[in-house]
Amino acid sequence: MTASKLACVQLSENALLLSAANKADLPTQRKIWQLTELLSESALATESLQEIVPGMGNLLICSRHGHNDNLPEISEWLQQTWQQLSTNDKPAQRSANTIIIPVSYGGDAGPDLAQVADHCGLSEADVIARHSAVYYHVYCLGFQAGFAYLGGLDSALTIPRMQTPSLQVAAGSVAIGGKQTGIYPAASPGGWHVIGHTSKRLFDIENSSPCLLKPGDRVKFEPL
Amino acid sequence: MIEVLKCGAMTTVQDAGRVGYRHLGVVRAGAMDWLVCQQANLLLANAPDAAVLELTLGPLHLKFHQDSAIVLMGADFAARLQPADNVSTPAALSPGFIHVVPAGSILTMKRAALPGMRAFLAIAGGFDVPVVMGSRSTDTSAGFGGFQGRDLQKGDRLVVGSQNELIRNRSSGDSKTPGIRPLAPDSILRALPGPDYSAFTEQAQADFWDSAWRVSPNSNRMGTRLIGSKLSLLADLELASAGTLPGLVQVPPDGQPIILGYDAQTVGGYPRIACVIAADLWQLAYMPPGSTLYFQQVSLQEAHAAMHDQERKLSRLQDSLRNITW
C-alpha cells in the first residue's frame, strides 16, 4: 500500500513540521515512531538537526545553528522513508517497554473520581476497572518534562476539561481530560479531572534516562 | 563566593539554554536576551557559554566574598556598589561596562530605574552551577538546572568559576574600561506567517500585522500574552497536538495571541498565526506589561539574513575586543 505524502509546513525559519494526519490513530502513530527512530539514527540528523519532536501524527524538525540549508534535503528523505514504511509493519521500536503504573484511585489521591463517575453514569468501581483494564500507548511527550500523551482511553470515560483549571495539581496525579488520560510529572495548574495518584516518578533528572515513559511504550494502570 | 542578601522574584541562573531535549518535554530555558550576555562574556574574557543571572524586576542585593569583575546588561536597575569599608560613597554602575568588584563589596540593584524590565549580570568566570542536559540554565517548571532548579532566594551562596587571567590582573584603579552599548529594542517583531495563517479571516490577518498589541500582565518566561483585536478563524479548527518552538504565536479560542517564550511547553494544539524570527526574540525580555508591540511580516530569506547579520556583529565585536590592550 502506498502511503500518502506528509504535509510539510514551515514552522519557523529553522523548523519544519511534517504531518501525516490531523488526528493520530495508532497505525499512523506507529509510523511516526519508526520515522522518528530512523531519522534520529541517520547521519543527516546528527549533523544538521537540533530537535526532532514527534507529535500526534506529526514530526517537528529544527535545524542546528547554520544548518537550515539542509532542511529541504532532510524533508525529502523523510518523505521517501515515509513512503517505504508500511502500516502493517510490526512496531519497529526495538526498545519499546510495557510499564505498570500502580495507582491509588479515589479519596484524597483522586478527588475528582466521584465527579467523573457521575458524569459518565458509572460507579466509581467501574471507572477504576475501565481505566485500569486497557494498555495505553505513549504517543508523544510534551506539556511538562516527562508528560506522556496517552492514547487508548475507554470512550465511556471521556469528560470535558474543567471550565476553570485547578490552581495546583499534585505531581503524580492521574487524570482524565477530554478523550485523554495522563499523569502529571510535576505539580502544576491543570484542567484535567484527577482520579488517582501514583508514587512512580515520571521525570527524574538524577536518572540517566530521566523520563519513565517514551513514545511507543505501553502503559497499564494497576489499582492499589 | 557571592551571597544573596535580597532578591526579587524570578532571578535565575541562565545560559544559552538547553537544546536537543524537546522530545522529552524539556523546555529550552536560557537567558531571554542571550545576545547581550554573549557580549558581556566577551568583555569579561569568559567562556562563551558562561552562565549569568537574569533579573526580572529586581531588586537584587549581592555580597561579594571574593574579588570579582562584573558586567551588567539589559534594563538599567540603578546598580550601586558599596565598598567593603562601608564608609565610602557607593559608586553608580552603568550597564555595558566592566566593573571591578573587590571582596567585601555589596552590589545593590533596585527595581528597574527606567521603563523596561529584565537585566543580566555576567561575572568573570561565570556562575558555576552543574551542567544538566548540556546547560546551566534553570528549568523552573521541571525544577532542575541552574541553582538547585529554582529562582534565587535570600541566603543563597553562588560559586563562581575561575576567572580569565586578563581579568584577574586588572586593578580596580583602571580607568580604561571597554564597554558595549546594547541594542535598543524598537518593539517591532519581525515574523513569518505561521502554518495556520490562512485559517484566519482576512480581517484577522490584517489586524495581526497592522494593529498595536499590548503586553498583558499575565506574561512571563513561558509566554508573552497580548491584548488587542480579536483574531478570528474562518471556521473551527481542531488541530492535532504538535511540537512548538519559542517565538511561535499561538491563538487560543479567546482570539488573543500568545508569543511562546523559552519556558513554554514543547507541544501545543492552538492555531499558529505566525512565528517571530529568532533574531528578534531578545526584545521580549524588555517588554513589561502595558507596553506596546507590532509585528512586521518578513520573508524566509529576510529571517535568515537577520540572524546572519546578528552573528556577524557578534563576531566583529569579538575581533575588536581581541585588539584591546588591557
Question: Across residues A134-154, what is the average pLDDT?
Answer: 94
List the single residue in B with minimal CA-CA distance to A140. B23
Q: Specify the pLDDT at position B183.
A: 78
Task: Place B24 in a pLDDT band, splitting at 50, 70 and 90.
Answer: very high
Strands A58-63 and A188-190, by their bridges, are unpaired
Q: How far is A195 from chain B (nearest CA, A)?
A: 23
In this predicted structure, the answer to whether residue B269 has a pLDDT above a threshold of 90 is no
Cβ contact B25–A11 (<8 Å):
no
Mean per-residue pLDDT, B58-79: 95
Residue B59 preceded by cis peptide, ω within 30: yes
Q: Are B117 and B9 in contact (CB under 8 A)?
A: no
Query: Per-residue pLDDT tens for A149-175?
Result: 999 999 999 998 887 777 789 999 999
| Contact by Cβ (8 Å): B214, B287 | no
Q: Tell if the CB–CB gap between B267 and A205 is shorter than 8 Å.
A: no
Give the residue from B16, B46, B70, B48 showing the smallest Cα distance to B125. B46
pLDDT at A105: 98
Distance of CA B263 to the CA centre of its chain: 12
Q: How far is B73 from chain A (nearest CA, A)?
A: 24
pLDDT for B175 beyond 60: no
Q: What is the pLDDT of residue A162?
A: 82
Instruction: Please say whether the beta carbons of B40 and B125 come within 8 A.
Output: no
Q: What is the mean pLDDT of residues A34-55?
A: 94
What's residue B326's pLDDT?
52
Q: What is the mean pLDDT of residues B68-94?
A: 91
Residue A70 is classified by DSSP as G
Question: What percent of chain A is modeled with pLDDT above 90?
Answer: 80
Q: B190: which 3 cell numbers? A: 519581525
Q: If pLDDT is split at 50, 70 and 90, which confidence band does B55 have? A: very high
Q: How many CB atoms lie within 10 A of CB A187?
A: 15
Query: In the predicted model, what is the mean pLDDT of residues A74-86?
Result: 93
Q: What is the structure's pLDDT at B257? A: 96
When pLDDT is cut at 50, 70 and 90, the band that residue B176 belongs to is low
This prediction has a pTM of 0.94
Distance CA B78, CA B110 (A): 6
Query: Is B242's CB within 8 Å of A144's CB?
Result: no
Residue A107 pLDDT greater than 80, yes or no: yes
Using a CB-CB cut-off of 8 Å, the residues of chain B touching A13 are 192, 275, 277-278, 300, 303-304, 307
Cα–Cα distances in Å, from A18 out to A153, A192, B246, B269?
A: 26, 29, 18, 15
Task: Among A13, A18, A52, pick the best mutation site for testing chain B contact (most B Cβ within 10 A).
Answer: A13
Paired with B64 in beta bridges are B2
The answer on pLDDT for B137 being more than 90 is yes
The residues, ordered by sequence, that sit 6+ positions from B165 with a Cβ below 8 Å of its Cβ are none
Residue A1: the pLDDT is: 46
Q: Judge: A13–B267 Cβ closer than 8 Å, yes or no.
A: no
Which residue, among B120, B98, B125, has the nearest Cα to B109 in the 3D structure?
Answer: B120
Mean pLDDT for all residues in chain B = 92
Instruction: State the average pLDDT over residues B66-82.
Output: 94
Is the pLDDT reported for residue A93 higher than 60? no
User: What's residue A90's pLDDT?
Assistant: 59
What is the per-residue pLDDT for B32? 98
User: Taking 70 as the threshold, does the pLDDT of residue A203 lie above it?
Assistant: yes
Cell of B153: 532566594
**For residue B218, is pLDDT > 70?**
yes
Mean pLDDT of B216-223: 94
| Distance, C-alpha A125 to centroid of its chain | 26
Residues of B in contact with A186 (CB under 8 A): 141-143
pLDDT in tens, A4-30: 899 999 999 999 999 997 777 899 999
**Predicted ipTM of the assembly:** 0.93
Q: Do A145 and B248 touch (CB under 8 A)?
A: no
Inter-chain touch B267–A19, beta carbons under 8 Å: no
* Per-residue CA distances from B54 to B7, B40, B164, B216 (Å): 12, 13, 22, 21
> Using N-to-C axis directions, what is the helix angle for B300-322 and B34-43, rounded to 10°?
20
Find the closest chain B residue to A7 by CA distance. B195
Nearest residue in chain B measured CA to CA from A171: B142
Do residues B213 and B227 lie in contact, with contact meaning Cβ atoms separated by under 8 Å?
yes
Query: In sequence order, what are the beta bridge partners of A219?
Result: A99, A136
